[in-house]
Amino acid sequence: MTDVLTPHTRIQKEEAVMNARAPSHETLEPDTVSDSVQVQSFAVEYAYPVVFTRHAFDPANSHLLDVLQRREAHKRHRVAVFIDGGVAAALPSLLGQIQAYFQAHAQHIELVGDAVVLQGGEACKNDPELITNLLKILSDKAIDRHSYALAIGGGAIMDAVGYAAAIFHRGVRHIRFPTTVLGQDDSGVGVKNAVNWLGLKNLVGTFAPPWAVINDGVFIDSLPEREKRCGMSEAVKVSLIRDGAFFTWLENNAQALARFDTVPLSYLIKRSAQIHMNQIALGGDPFESGSARPLDYGHWVAHKLERMTNQHELSHGEAVAIGVAMDAHYSVLAGLLPAGEDLRVHRLLSTLGFKLWNDQLETRNAQGRLAVLQGLADFREHLGGELTITLLAGIGKGIEVHEIQDDWVTQSIAWLKQHI
């Protein structure tokens, strides 16, 4: 039997659902004054498409148009576009392609003013004026909560524009076009954005899921080899903590990946993105309200090492590779990972082309303690409580620990140096 809802019965049913979901409250007495605790409870569901395509700005490719019209399909949608300066320089025809795309679909979408070209890389996240400038641009373009801020670039540009979009009008719709392997297989599909402050990485930011993510393989084609390689460390990371079969696939295809062959590199990006998405959706803590960050395996070392190196001579992906290898050996010393598995990790990363050493690993502070160990304190503060570090209990199996031994860190650094 078909259930036909009249406006009256629809309202009755909606009220019944709301009442069933409503938090329970104590009965209030109008003639008394007393302490009262009211508990508010509700859930918000997030859903956003992650698209893998090529030539996204070809007018015949409808993916961007489709995500812009996910809601209010009848209206003409306004879009402010921000582009990483490095991407604009590498692809000089890109600005024209974007304009042509919007012109071809002018009935449905509007490019608000010219695309804004920004300095990319970690330098933009260190610029204290950048967020203020981005907010002013959004205001000047009259971007509202039903308009879009579209960012094309590496992780730093997506972080900066994403943060500005999240706080402008308490949140405008943000579309990410990651242009690096690291952006497409890791950070671009996540729910975080942040900028650096007071010399600390990602100290200021928000949890704000994007409206959509569009991964265009054409951007990967144009990357320098170093940039292509950097994102592979995050794929190795997620394979180690979540998918042993993927790690074995990476081992078997390491030579082809080191040559940056298109087909295996495309699979690496898609599978890594999928694992990251599953962790966010099914891990039970998408906004990291607890003390664990399993997707940050190897990152306590990486974040500190990035800050210690001169002018960020290490990219994030390169620092992650060092941290992943180092924590693999630490896991062996801790009796968690079988001996020899750390060598598999080191061999894979080396075959992919990573240099798994930096002299800053041996730097000590005035008290004679390894300077990199300050990364643990930074990590604990960032998590807001108990130190929780992900190590390896096997290939494809992460495990959380709450204490790190200085001696084993020292031995792990020595092990890395032995394998230069």
Quick: pLDDT tens for 198-207.
Answer: 887 788 999 9
Q: Tell me which of 11-20, 69-78, 210-219, 275-284 is least confident.
A: 11-20
pTM (2 d.p.): 0.87
* 357 vs 30: CA distance, rounded Å: 70
Per-residue pLDDT, averaged over 204-232, amounts to: 96
Per-residue pLDDT, averaged over 139-157, amounts to: 96
* 188 vs 179: CA distance, rounded Å: 9
- pLDDT for the residue numbered 313: 84
Shared domain check, 190 and 161:
yes
DSSP state of 334: T
Q: Which of 203, 138, 130 is nearest to 169 (CA)?
A: 138
Shared domain check, 233 and 202:
no
Per-residue pLDDT, averaged over 219-227, amounts to: 95
Shared domain check, 256 and 128:
no
Q: Which amino acid is at 132?
A: T
Shared domain check, 235 and 279:
yes
**How far does Cα 68 stand from its chain's mean position?**
21
> Which CATH number is 133's domain given?
3.40.50.1970
Shared domain check, 305 and 229:
yes
- Confidence label for 370 from pLDDT (cuts 50, 70 and 90): very high
* 110 vs 107: CA distance, rounded Å: 8
* Beta pairing class for 212-216 and 148-153: unpaired
Most confident of 20-34, 312-326, 402-416: 402-416
CB 409 within 8 A of CB 373: yes
**Number of folded domains that form the chain:** 2
Largest Cα separation within the chain, whole Å, is 79
Shared domain check, 75 and 197:
yes
* 264 vs 359: CA distance, rounded Å: 33
> Which CATH number is 331's domain given?
1.20.1090.10
Q: Is residue 35 in a domain?
A: no
Query: Has residue 3 got a pLDDT over 50?
Result: no
CB 301 within 8 A of CB 323: yes
* 333 vs 338: CA distance, rounded Å: 9
Burial, 250: exposed, middle or buried (Cβ in 10 Å; 0-12, 13-18, 19+)?
A: buried
Task: Supply 376's token pair.
Answer: 């643990």
The dihedral through the CA atoms of 119, 125, 127, 128 has a sign that is: positive
Of 168, 193, 221, which one is at a domain's C-terminal end? 221
Shared domain check, 383 and 291:
yes
Query: Has residue 278 got a pLDDT over 60?
Result: yes
Per-residue pLDDT, averaged over 281-296, amounts to: 80
Summarised one tens digit per residue, pLDDT across range 32-87 is: 777 888 888 888 899 999 999 999 999 999 999 999 999 998 999 999 999 999 99
Shared domain check, 216 and 241:
no
Shared domain check, 319 and 191:
no
Q: Is residue 247 in a domain?
A: yes
Shared domain check, 240 and 162:
no
* 416 vs 375: CA distance, rounded Å: 18
* Domain extent at residue 148: 50-221
Beta strands in 301-396 (DSSP E): 389-394
* Beta pairing class for 148-153 and 173-178: parallel
* 148 vs 78: CA distance, rounded Å: 6
Task: Spell out the residues 6+ positions from residue 393 whose beta carbon is closer than 8 angstroms to its own.
Answer: 331, 336, 337, 399
The strand pairing partners of 399, in sequence order, are 391
Query: How many degrees, rounded to 5, is the angle at CA 126 between CA 124 and CA 131?
Result: 65
Shared domain check, 322 and 178:
no
- Confidence label for 15 from pLDDT (cuts 50, 70 and 90): low
Q: Tell me which of 120 and 65 has the higher pLDDT.
A: 65
Shared domain check, 208 and 277:
no
Q: Which of 344, 13, 54, 3 is nearest to 215 (CA)?
A: 54
Per-residue pLDDT, averaged over 91-116, amounts to: 97
Percent of the chain with pLDDT over 90: 73
CB 81 within 8 A of CB 161: no
CB 127 within 8 A of CB 157: no
Q: Is residue 394 in a domain?
A: yes
Q: Is residue 43 in a domain?
A: no
Task: Spell out the residues 6+ positions from residue 347 whose beta carbon is closer than 8 angstroms to its own.
Answer: 251
